[in-house]
Structure 1
Amino acid sequence: MKQFEFFGKQVSRRQLLTGTAALGSVLVAGGLTGCGGNAQASGLRDIGFWHLLSGGDGIKMQAMITSANQANPGFKVHPTVLAWGPPYYTKLAMASAGGRPPEVAIMHASRVPGYAPGGLIDPWDLDLLAEHGVTGDNFAPRIWEKSQQNGKVFSIALDSHPFVMFYNTDIASKAGVLGSNGQLQEVTSPQAFMAMAREMQKVTQAHGLSFGYLGSGSQMWRLFYTLYKQHGADMELIPGQPMKVDRDAAIESLEFMASLFDDTVAAKAGDISTGIAEFARGDSGMLFSGVWELPTLKKAGLPVDAATIPTLYGTPASYADSHSFVLPRQLNVDDAKRRDVYKFVSDVLKGSISWAEAGHIPAYQPVVQSQAYRDLTPQIHYANAADIIAYDPEAWFSGSGSDWQTYFAENVQNVFLGRDKAAAGWDAFERRTNTLLSRPNPV
């Protein structure tokens, strides 16, 4: 029986169809829609909304949903929060295939290329979007470009959330690495960065940099791809063809990462939670992580500032993704509900200053250009990341929360632990990627 790799898992055609039908039955029964009966009883139109935002992000999103519901008496948005990662994307694909998806959902922009070609999400009507005051001119060029597939817009970005560098201003000051503007001095080479980290280590007597990576393919990939793109290198994943990559740039990026883990610049081994805790208690001067960690660091009472990852190889670049709104395919589109979705999305975009408070860079430029955003620190210090963001290379299997990032970890983690050479780890990952490229998109 023919086998498919469905988001990294081997399943047969019969299993895929059976699973889709089973999930469709659950959806008919109301198991995942998140819609209650109160709104219907009062004549409101129920709008199902799936997302994968939890913790502080989830609280911020719920506040924006509540605000939109209060401003729009004709509909009520009912959110359903599902687990981040492959399970979320599998359920969303099966819900669309089964014909009972929510009216709107959040996807990472990097995952859209795996869905749009299979008809699992519908394109946005730009004229209808413009009726609500949202046009392509309202987005940074790289973000708007990423929203498109084959000339159609399949996603509307809420934000960009880049991988950045947090730093402790007290430690940096004592280490003598703050500039006259009170921000970290610019470094432009791997050697200069290592020297700065070691000056901070002299202050902390522990480490200069925190970067936990064990067991986290996404954490490893974010830094690797930032460094790789700083080489000015491209990476193409074309179905049926070998991976197109600058092997020398990839290996050099891995070797530099491995050199950080010397128990002086950074801990030899540790996961991201350990890294964040180390930085929060003042045992390192810098932390490489996503902007979503900002609320945690502020809550810890740290004298924290932030900037884009230093440009160490000549080309400014910062790994990032975008939480984006998509329209899961409906068997029968309810025009009134579809219009409600456009209004809801436009309201959330226009109110995304609260999303910025959580660390994310709003995609809707009128918010970024507002005085309220300019008053946010350290957010304003890395707002330029939106101009240099690097999304994952497009493929049906790539992107945030994908098994592809897990495969990256499986092949390069031993490089960082000093057990494998960078070339061996990279070549093994490239072979695994080429196997995926030889297979069709299962959706």
Structure 2
Amino acid sequence: MPGRSTSRRALLRGALFGASAAALTPALAACGSVAGAVSSDADIQFWHLFSGADGALMQNMIADVEKRVPELRPRSTVLEWGAAYYTKLAMASAGGRAPDVAVMHVSRLAGYAPGGLLDPWDLDLLAEFGVARDELNPKVSALGRYDDKPFAIPLDTHPFVVFYDRDVMDKSGLLDSQGKLIPLENPENFLEAAAKLRKDTGKLGPVVGVFSDTAQAWRLFWGFYSQTGGPFDLSEKKPRVDEDKMAKVIDFIKKLTAPDCRTMDYPAAIAAFTTRRSPFVFSGEWESATYRGSGIDLGAAPLPTLFGRPATQADSHTFVLPHQDDPDPARRRGAHRLVAEILTSSLTWAKAGHVPAYLPVVESKAYAALDPQASYAPAADHPALDPQAWFTGSGSDFQARMCQALQSAINGSASTGSTVKKMLSEIDFFLSKPNPA
């Protein structure tokens, strides 16, 4: 048994290292190499998970910060997103080798803040650098709080939305005079509209690619289940859910995906839409640049409200302060300024499709002119994040296991009832495990 002088952080470090030493060896090696890259006490070490187009935009934003504020020297390290990223971040915080600031999906906060792996932000200091607390999206800001302290400052909301071909949808009478999707108020309305699209075009109806993917089926399910208002509480040893509402949503998804996309994967769904074989696709907003480049007269909207109340599966990229036992005040101040500078210039970030959390940007004329980004921006008012638990959130094994269960229902190899039972069995598996933090 450890002596009384053993710190809680030392116990945490031992638990994290001891419980998963073999699996985490590559992650630890990566942490060591990154921490060793510190070149100056004035450098602000910034870890993030953005690659591709998102990564290029973030690098542009950081370069602009350096021009505006030459005394700030942000040093970005891009790490592979997913479970590996979050493992490295936990190890860096527990092992005393944390960066000054990092990006985290707010859905992962429950696995970090309660275990002391993060430090809270100083909102007064952010305000000093031009970002007042009431200038941030209140819904996602509230989700970034733990123990009534702000542990995650939101950069954006990235919702699961719908994109459509305005020309085709208009010819089928499914748009209003403003080119917006007409209300489809229940599952039956939506399925009727899907059948009309197939009949009018002789092509595919609405598509979604859920196979060979560890999140899409869950995003679709969770958005619609959240619209039902049913509980999904994972705070106790037994989950509290509404199995009848789960079954109702799964039944709808089975009808939605049959016959056009019962076995369709993620790239195939994108291809079906961009090559005009389908006029309607369920997709993350992060694909908006791909769709804009296809030449389609592109429209977009939040997830249709089919089950009672608005809700769209979403997450938020946020900034966090990985825990440091003795943080340098100047570097902490620099981290706050870096984040404030990025937030105030996040119109650039909106070009990727994400909905900025900084309200002066979203409320600006320049953002209103972004098409179709401004069309689905209301989704940020009704974000449905994963149910709170240490094992849920973006890039988690929880999402992957939920998808596996849902995929069996979609391809017809499992009944709705057995799918609900499988999902609950997987949840019981996670709830039986101790929280490593």
TM over 0.5: yes
Q: Residue type matched to 2:337 in 1?
A: K
Q: Determine the structure 1 residue equivalent to 2:331.
A: 337
Pairing 1:166–2:163 present: yes
Determine the structure 2 residue equivalent to 1:32: 34
Between 433-442 and 221-230, report the one with greater CA deviation: 433-442
Report the equivalent of 1:91: 88
Structure 2 residue matching 1:382: 3-state secondary structure:
helix
Following superposition, the deviation at residue 233 of structure 1 comes to 1.6
* Deviation per residue, 1:190-233 (Å, 9 max, x gap): 11111111222234422111200013231011110111011122
**What runs of 5+ residues in structure 2 fail to find an aligned partner?**
1-14
Deviations 1:227-246 (A, max 9, x none): 1011122311114x201111
1:112 aligns with 2:114: no
Deviations 1:82-102 (A, max 9, x none): 112111111111111111121
Alignment of 1:229-268 (within 5 A): 229-239=226-236, 241-263=237-259, 266-268=260-262
Counterparts of 1:121-160 in structure 2 under 5 Å? 121-160=118-157
Structure 2 CA distance for aligned equivalents of residues 63 and 91 of structure 1:
25
TM-score computed with the length of structure 2 as normaliser? 0.92
SS at match of 1:327: strand
Matches within 5 A, 1:296-307: 296-307=290-301
Whole-angstrom distance in 2 between the partners of 1:12 and 1:129 = 32
- From 192, 209, 212, the equivalent of 1:212 is 209
Maintained 8 Å contact 2:214/2:400:
yes
Q: Which moved more, 1:249-258 or 1:137-146?
A: 137-146
Counterpart of 1:32, as a letter, is V
Partner of 2:385: 391
State the 1:133 CA deviation. 2.3
Say whether the 8 Å CA contact 1:20–1:97 is kept in structure 2: no
Consecutive unaligned residues in structure 1, runs of 5 or more: 1-10
User: Deviation at 1:249?
Assistant: 0.8
Does the 8 Å CA contact 1:24/1:100 hold for their aligned counterparts?
A: no
Instruction: Please report the RMSD computed on the Cα atoms of aligned residues, expressed in angstroms.
Output: 2.0
3-state DSSP class of the match of 1:210?
Answer: coil
Q: Is 2:173 aligned against 1:179?
A: no
* Displacement of 1:27: 4.4
C-alpha change, 1:195 and 1:81, in structure 2 (3 Å) is same
Tell me if the contact between 1:122 and 1:327 (Cα under 8 Å) persists in the aligned partners: yes
Task: Give the letter aligned to residue 301 of structure 2.
Answer: A
Indicate the larger mover: 70-79 or 153-162: 70-79
Structure 2 residue aligned with 1:6: none
Distance 1:299 1:421 in 2: 39
Identical positions, percent: 42
State the AA in 2 paired with 1:153.
P
The answer to which of 111-120 and 72-81 deviates more is 72-81
CA 1:24–1:279 in structure 2 vs 1: closer, same or farther (change >3 Å)? closer
Question: 1:14 aligns to what?
Answer: 18
Cα deviation for residue 65 of structure 1 reads 0.9
Q: Look up the equivalent residue of 1:187 and give its one-letter code.
A: L
Distance 1:94 1:205 in 2: 54
Alignment of 1:60-75 (within 5 A): 60-75=57-72
C-alpha distance in structure 1 between counterparts of 2:120 and 2:19, whole Å: 29
Amino acid at match of 1:255: D
Aligned-partner Cα distance in 1 for 2:36–2:64: 18
Contact 1:368/1:374 (CA < 8 Å) preserved in 2? Answer: yes
Helix, strand or coil: the match of 1:94?
helix
SS of residue paired to 2:34: coil
Q: Which residue is 2:51 aligned to?
A: 54
CA distance in 1, matches of 2:35, 2:308: 48
1:149 Cα deviation from its structure 2 partner = 0.7
Determine the structure 2 residue equivalent to 1:81.
Answer: 78
Q: Which moved more, 1:421-430 or 1:129-138?
A: 129-138
> For residue 14 of structure 1, what is the amino acid of its counterpart?
G
